[in-house]
C-alpha cells in the first residue's frame, strides 16, 4: 500500500518533479515517503529499501542435481555478505527438477512474488520454455547454464560461450593435431542440448575442405527436428543419439558403427553431448566393445568433476578431453583467489561458473548510475566492457559475455590444460 502511494502506476521521476512542487498534496506524499522506513520512490519488482531479491530455477533433486547444487553453491558464495546501494542480495533457488512444466510453474511463482532478475538458471530445454515468460515480464535472464543463447531477447545476458562455440574450438584443435574431419563423430542427447552440438559440428567442419557432404547430412538432421524432436535421427550421419531421460546407448552406438561402415573410415574423435551418467556409460560400453575412440566431453557433459569421478568409479582412468569456459585452475586472477577462499574444497569448474555469474551480476548492479531498475541494469551491461576480478566480460555486441574456450585433459586427480604432447599421446594409442 505504501509503495503504491509513493509510486502510483510507476510514474517517472521527471513527471513527479514537475507535479510535486505545483501540488501541495504531492508535497505531503513525498514527505511521507521520505520519513516512512522501507519506502522507495523508484521501487522495482524485487527491490526494496534494504533488499534486492533474485530468483533461480535449478534441478536440486533427481538425476541432474549435480548441476543445480554446484551452480547454487557458486552463486551463493559470490553474493554472500555483498551489498549494492545499501541493499543486501537475497537469492532464492527453486527446485524445478529440470522439467519444463515445473519450470513454468515455479517461474511464474517467483515473478508474482517479486524478483529483480533470474540468475544462473540451469537447463537448455527449461530455459527455452521459460524465456517467453521472462521477456513478456521484462525480467532479466542472467548467466544461465544452458546451450548458449536460448532466445533473441534484450533480457538475456549469458556469460558462457555456446556449446557450438565449444565444439568448434575442439574441432579446430583436433584437426590441427592431425585428426581427419571425416573421422570426427558425436554421441548426443536427442533434444535442444544435442542439436546445439550438431550446430557446433557444422561450424567446426565448415572451416575444413571437403566436408560439405557431411554438413549436408547434419543440415538434414536439423531439418527433421523442425517443429519438434524426431526420435528417428540415427543412421543419418556421423552421429548417434539417445533419448533424454534414458540410458539407451545401443542405438546411438550402432549409428556410429553404421557411419564407419558406410564411409569406410573409423571414428577417431567422438564428441559427447550428454549428461555425465550417460557419457560415462557410453565410454564404458565403447571400451567393452574395444573401440579405439578418443573421447571429448563438453563442459556441460563433464559437469565440473562429475564425469571424471564417474569414470574413475567405473574403473576407466584413461584421459579424456574436456572443454572449459571458465579460467584455468592455476590462473592468477583476483576472481580465482576470491573463489578459492569462498568455496574451498567445493571449488570446481561448475561451482566456479556459478561464482563468476554471481560476481558478474554484482558488477553490473554496482555500475548502475541512478536507480536500481531493470532497464538501467540491461543498459549498463551493454554500455561498455567491464572486468570481474580480472576476467573480461563484454555484452556490447550481444551474447555471450565471454568467448573463451579452453581445452583440458582429465588426469588421475585433476584436469589440466591440454598440450600438443597430449594430442600426440592420444593419437598414438
* 3-class secondary-structure state, position 407: strand
224 and 317 in a single domain? The answer is yes
| Per-residue pLDDT at 82 | 96
- Give the pLDDT confidence score for residue 4 in this predicted structure: 38
pLDDT exceeds 90 at position 173: yes
Residue 273 backbone dihedrals phi, psi, to 5 degrees: -120, 80
Residue 131 forms part of a structural domain? yes
| CB 98, CB 64: distance < 8 Å | yes
Q: Using pLDDT thresholds of 50, 70 and 90, give the confidence band for residue 232.
A: confident
pLDDT of res. 152:
67
Does residue 260 share a domain with residue 155? no
Gap between the Cα atoms of 102 and 117, Å rounded:
18
- Residue 123 pLDDT exceeds 60: yes
Residue 167: pLDDT over 50:
yes
Q: Map grid coordinates 540415427 to a residue.
A: 234
pLDDT of residue 192: 82
Residue 147 pLDDT exceeds 50: yes
Q: Which of 223-237, 270-284, 328-342 has the lowest mean pLDDT?
A: 223-237
Closest C-alpha to 351, from 74, 37, 25? 74
CB of 272 within 8 A of CB of 301? Answer: yes
Determine the pLDDT at residue 92: 97
**Paired sense of beta strands 184-189 and 239-242, if any:** parallel
User: Which ranges of 114-226 does DSSP label H, i.e. alpha helix?
Assistant: 124-136, 163-176, 192-206, 212-224
pLDDT score of 50: 96
pLDDT, tens digit (0-9, with 9 covering 90-100), for 398-420:
889 999 999 999 865 678 899 99
Same domain flag for 132 and 185: no
Q: What gap in Å lies between CA 250 and CA 280, rounded to an integer?
A: 14
What integer best gives the mean pLDDT of the chain?
87
Q: Are residues 313 and 170 in the same domain?
A: yes
Decide if 43 is inside a domain.
no
Is residue 40 in a domain? Answer: no
Does 45 map to a domain? Answer: no
Residue 259, in any domain of the structure? yes
pLDDT of residue 8: 38
Looking at the fold, whether 128 and 213 belong to one and the same domain comes out as: no
- For residues 407 and 428, the model is more confident at 407
Residues 195 and 252 in one domain: yes
* In contact, 59 and 122? CB cutoff 8 Å: yes
Asked whether residue 62 carries a pLDDT value surpassing 90, the answer given is no
Q: What is the 3-state secondary structure (H, E, C) of 103-140?
A: HHHHHHHHHHHCCCEEECCECHHHHHHHHHHHHHCCCC
pLDDT value of position 403: 92
Examine the pLDDT at 199 and tell me if it is beyond 70: yes
Give the pTM: 0.86
Same domain, yes or no: 294 and 417 = yes
What pLDDT, on the 0 to 100 scale, is given for residue 244?
87
Q: What angle do CA 326, 331, 335 make, to 5 degrees?
A: 70
Confidence label for 228 from pLDDT (cuts 50, 70 and 90):
low
159 with 355: CB under 8 angstroms? no
- Is residue 388 within 8 A of residue 359, CB to CB? The reply is yes
Q: Is the confidence at residue 367, as pLDDT, over 70?
A: yes
* Cis amide leading into 99 (omega within 30): no
Measured over all CA atoms, what is the biggest interatomic distance in the chain, rounded to whole angstroms? 87
Residues 301 and 423 in one domain: yes
What is the C-alpha to C-alpha distance for residues 95 and 68, in angstroms, rounded to an integer?
8
For residue range 108-120, list pLDDT tens digits in order.
999 999 999 999 9
Determine the pLDDT at residue 178: 94
Residues 105 and 200 in one domain: no
Whether 316 has a pLDDT exceeding 90, the answer reads no
Q: Which three cell numbers stand for residue 152?
A: 533473441
Per-residue pLDDT of 270-299, as tens digits, reads 999 999 999 999 999 999 999 999 999 999
Q: Say how far apart CA 188 and CA 186 lie, in whole Å.
A: 6
Identify whether 44 is part of a domain: no
**pLDDT at residue 1 is higher than 70:** no
Confidence of residue 150 (pLDDT cuts 50, 70, 90): low
- Each residue of 14-55: pLDDT tens digit? 333 434 434 454 344 444 444 444 444 447 999 999 999 999
Give pLDDT, residue 379. 96
Average of per-residue pLDDT across 61-87: 95
What value does the mean pLDDT take over residues 143-164?
Answer: 84
Place of cell 533424454: 244
CB atoms within 10 A of CB 36: 12
CATH number, residue 257: 3.40.50.2300
* Residue range of the domain that includes 136: 51-160+330-398
Question: Do residues 315 and 339 share a domain?
Answer: no
First to last CA, the chain: 71
Q: What percent of the chain has pLDDT over 90?
A: 72
Q: Which phi and psi angles does 218 have, rounded to 5°?
A: -65, -40
In a domain, 42, yes or no: no
Picking from 2-11, 127-136, 179-188, which range would have the lowest pLDDT averaged per residue?
A: 2-11
Residues 84, 133 within the same domain = yes
**CA 270, CA 273: separation in Å to the nearest integer?**
10
Mean pLDDT, residues 334-349: 96
Indicate whether 72 belongs to any domain: yes
Three-state SS at 372: coil
Return contacts of 192-196, CB within 8 angstroms, 24+ apart: 192/124, 192/125, 192/128, 192/147, 192/150, 193/124, 193/125, 193/147, 193/163, 193/244, 193/273, 193/300, 194/241, 194/273, 194/274, 195/222, 195/225, 196/124, 196/147, 196/148, 196/162, 196/163, 196/164, 196/273
CA angle, residues 352, 355, 357, in degrees to nearest 5: 110
Residues 390 and 420 in one domain: no
Question: How many structural domains is the chain composed of?
Answer: 3
Taking residues 157-186, report their average pLDDT: 94
Amino acid at each position: 500500500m505504501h509503495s503504491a502511494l509513493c509510486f502510483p502506476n510507476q510514474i517517472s521521476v521527471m513527471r513527479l518533479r514537475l507535479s510535486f512542487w505545483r501540488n501541495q498534496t504531492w508535497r505531503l506524499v513525498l514527505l511521507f515517503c521520505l520519513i516512512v522506513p522501507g519506502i522507495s520512490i523508484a521501487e522495482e519488482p524485487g527491490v526494496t529499501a534494504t533488499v534486492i531479491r533474485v530468483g533461480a530455477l535449478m534441478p536440486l533433486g533427481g538425476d541432474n542435481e549435480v548441476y543445480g547444487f554446484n551452480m547454487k553453491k557458486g552463486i551463493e558464495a559470490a553474493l554472500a555478505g555483498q551489498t549494492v546501494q545499501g541493499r543486501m542480495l537475497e537469492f532464492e533457488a527453486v527446485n524445478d527438477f529440470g522439467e519444463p512444466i515445473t519450470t513454468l510453474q515455479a517461474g511464474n511463482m517467483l515473478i508474482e512474488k517479486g524478483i529483480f532478475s533470474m540468475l544462473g538458471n540451469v537447463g537448455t530445454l527449461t530455459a527455452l520454455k521459460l524465456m517467453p515468460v521472462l521477456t513478456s515480464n521484462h525480467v532479466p535472464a542472467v548467466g544461465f547454464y544452458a546451450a548458449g543463447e536460448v532466445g533473441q531477447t534484450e533480457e538475456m545476458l549469458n556469460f558462457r560461450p555456446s556449446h557450438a562455440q565449444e565444439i568448434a574450438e575442439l574441432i579446430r584443435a583436433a584437426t590441427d593435431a592431425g585428426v581427419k574431419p571425416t573421422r570426427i563423430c558425436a554421441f548426443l542427447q536427442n533434444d535442444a542440448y544435442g542439436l546445439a552440438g550438431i550446430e557446433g559440428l557444422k561450424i567446426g567442419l565448415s572451416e575444413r575442405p571437403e566436408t560439405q557432404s557431411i554438413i549436408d547430412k547434419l543440415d538434414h538432421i536439423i531439418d527433421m527436428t523442425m517443429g519438434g524432436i524426431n526420435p528417428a535421427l540415427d543412421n543419418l550421419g556421423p552421429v548417434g543419439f539417445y533419448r533424454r531421460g534414458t540410458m539407451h546407448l545401443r542405438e546411438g552406438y550402432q549409428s556410429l558403427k553404421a557411419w564407419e561402415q558406410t564411409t569406410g573410415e573409423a571414428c577417431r574423435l567422438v564428441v559427447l553431448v550428454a549428461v555425465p551418467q550417460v557419457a560415462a556409460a557410453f565410454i564404458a560400453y565403447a571400451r567393452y566393445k574395444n573401440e579405439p575412440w578418443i573421447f571429448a566431453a563438453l563442459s556441460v557433459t563433464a559437469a565440473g568433476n562429475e564425469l571424471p569421478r564417474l569414470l574413475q568409479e567405473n574403473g576407466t582412468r584413461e584421459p579424456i578431453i574436456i572443454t572449459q569456459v571458465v579460467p584455468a585452475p592455476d590462473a592468477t586472477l583476483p576472481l580465482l583467489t576470491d573463489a578459492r577462499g569462498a568455496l574451498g574444497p567445493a571449488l570446481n569448474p561448475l561451482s566456479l561458473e556459478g561464482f563468476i555469474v554471481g560476481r558478474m551480476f554484482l558488477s553490473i548492479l554496482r555500475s548502475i548510475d541512478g536507480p536500481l531498475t531493470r532497464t538501467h541494469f540491461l543498459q549498463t551491461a551493454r554500455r561498455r566492457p567491464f572486468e570481474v576480478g580480472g576476467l573480461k566480460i563484454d555484452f556490447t555486441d550481444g551474447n555471450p559475455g565471454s568467448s573463451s574456450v579452453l581445452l583440458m585433459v582429465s588426469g588421475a586427480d585433476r584436469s589440466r590444460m591440454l598440450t600438443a604432447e597430449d594430442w600426440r599421446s592420444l593419437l598414438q594409442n
